[in-house]
Amino acid sequence: MAFPAKNEKNEGLDLLSAVFLLSGPLLLIDPDGRVKSLNGAFVKLLGYSAAGAPFSKFCRNERSAASFLESLAREGRASEYLDLSSVDGSVIPARVSASKAGEGFAVAFDDLRGKKALEEELKSVKDELKRRTDYQEDFREGVFHMLRDLDSSERELETAYEKLKETQAQLIQSSKMTALGELAAGVAHELNQPLTVIKGLSHNILRNFDASSAPYEKLRLIAEASEKMELVIRHLKIFSRTDGPALSPVDLNRVIKDAFVIAKEVLANSSIKVKMSLSEIPPVLGSPNRLEQVVINLVTNARDAMPKGGTLEISTGIVERGKARLVQMCFRDSGCGIPKSLIGRIFDPFFTTKDIGKGTGLGLSISYGIIKEHHGDITVESETCKGTVFHVTLPPLT
C-alpha cells in the first residue's frame, strides 16, 4: 500500500495523508487518470493494491470511466454513480466523487451495495404493500357486489313472498268456496221441501182470511218471510252449482243490456242515474246467464250502497295486463263505499253488512265463483263516502 508523499507545494497533502488513513476507499490519481496511491479501504473494497494502473481498470464500463475523467478534468470535480469491477470479477455499485488534490485528483468511493440491498428490500416491501392494497380493494369490491346482490335477492324474496301470500289467499278463498258449495248444496236441498210447504200453505190460508183480520197480518209476514227464504235458497243453489256452465261466444255489452231487463226493476224505486258507456270489445267465451247474474248482483249492491240516490256508471273496454289484452266491465257507484277494515272480506260467502232479511252475503262470492269459472278476475277499489268500483276482467275469445 502506498501513501501520498509529502509535497512542499501542496500542504493539503499532509491532511490528505491523514484522511487516507481514516476515511473510506480513496485513490489519488494523476491528471492522466493513473493511480498514484490508494488506501487500505480501497484495497479492501476492490482487491487491487498496485499503483500505476489506469482509473478505468476499476470500472466495469470503460466509457463511463472515460466520461467521468473528462468531466473531472473539465470541472475540477465530479460525482457519479459507477459500477466498479473488483479483482474477483464481482460488480460493486458505488457513488464515485473526485476533486482536485495537488496536481492530480482525490477520488472517494461510497459502496452502495448496502443501500441497494435496502432499496431492493424497500421495493419488495412496497410491492407487498401494493399487493395487499390491491387485494383489499378487490375484497372491498367483492363485498360491495355481494351486498348489492343480497339487496336484489332480498327484493326478489319480498316479491316472491307477496305472490305466495296472494296465491295462498286465493287458495284459501277457493277451498272455502268448495267446502261452502257442498254445504250450501246440502242446506238448499234440505230446506227446499219444507219451504215449499210453508210458502204454499201460508198463501193458501191467507186467502181464507179477511185483510183486516188479526191472523191475516201474521200470515202475510210468514208468506213474505218464506219468499225471502226462497230467494236465499235460489242463491244457495247457484252458489253450489258444480257443473261447468255451457260456454259460447258472448258479447259482454249484450250481457249488460240483457241483464238490465231485470236490473231496471232492481233500480225502479231509487233515484239512481245510470250512465252507460259501452265500447267495441271482442267476445269472450262464457255463459251469458251466469254473466248476467254477475251484472245483476253488482247493480243490486250499487243500489244498496246509494239509498239516497247517486250515479252508477257502467263501462266496457279493453285493458292491457302485462302482455295480455283483456276485456273489462266496470261498475262505478257514488255510494257509501266500503271501509278498509271490511274490504278484504266482501267476497267471503255469507259476509254482509246489510240488515237481516236484506242481504244473503252470497252475491259477491257467487259473482267471484262465476268470474273464476270464466278464467277472469274481479277486483274492487273503494273509498268510504265516495264510492266503489268493481272491475271484472275476462280473457277475450281468440
Residue ranges binding ligand ADP (CB under 6 A): 297, 301-302, 305, 333, 335-338, 346, 351-354, 359-365, 388
Q: Which is nearer to ligand ADP, 184 or 364 (CB)?
A: 364
What's the grid cell of residue 356? 237481516
What's the grid cell of residue 303? 243500489
Which position's Cβ is nearest ligand ADP? 363
Q: Which is nearer to ligand ADP, 115 or 372 (CB)?
A: 372
CB 278 within 8 Å of CB 256? yes
H or E stretch at 219 = helix 214-240
Minimum CB separation of residue 378 from ligand ADP in Å reads 11
Q: What is the DSSP letter of 377?
A: E
Minimum CB separation of residue 264 from ligand ADP in Å reads 18
Q: What three-state secondary structure class fits 125?
A: helix
Minimum CB separation of residue 177 from ligand ADP in Å reads 12
Burial class of residue 98, CB neighbours in 10 A (0-12, 13-18, 19+): buried
Q: Which is nearer to ligand ADP, 208 or 379 (CB)?
A: 379
Q: What does each C-alpha distance from 33 to 28, 37, 63, 186, 367 come to in angstroms?
A: 9, 12, 13, 128, 116
- CA distance linking residue 15 with residue 119, whole number of Å: 35
CB 278 within 8 Å of CB 318? no
Minimum CB separation of residue 282 from ligand ADP in Å reads 27
- 231, amino acid identity: L
- 21, amino acid identity: L
What is the DSSP annotation of 320-363?
A: EETTEEEEEEEEEE-S----HHHHTTTTSTT---SPTTT--S-H
CB 272 within 8 Å of CB 311? yes
Q: Which is nearer to ligand ADP, 13 or 184 (CB)?
A: 184
Q: Which is nearer to ligand ADP, 101 or 232 (CB)?
A: 232
Minimum CB separation of residue 335 from ligand ADP in Å reads 5
Minimum CB separation of residue 158 from ligand ADP in Å reads 30
Q: Which is nearer to ligand ADP, 328 or 388 (CB)?
A: 388
Q: Which is nearer to ligand ADP, 292 or 333 (CB)?
A: 333
Minimum CB separation of residue 387 from ligand ADP in Å reads 8
Q: Which is nearer to ligand ADP, 202 or 388 (CB)?
A: 388
- CA distance linking residue 181 with residue 239, whole number of Å: 6
Minimum CB separation of residue 343 from ligand ADP in Å reads 9
Minimum CB separation of residue 329 from ligand ADP in Å reads 14
Rg, Å, the chain Cα set: 55
Among 198, 216, 196, which Cα is nearest to 207's?
A: 216
Q: What does each C-alpha distance from 83 to 36, 80, 112, 214 come to in angstroms?
A: 21, 10, 10, 138
Q: Which is nearer to ligand ADP, 142 or 357 (CB)?
A: 357
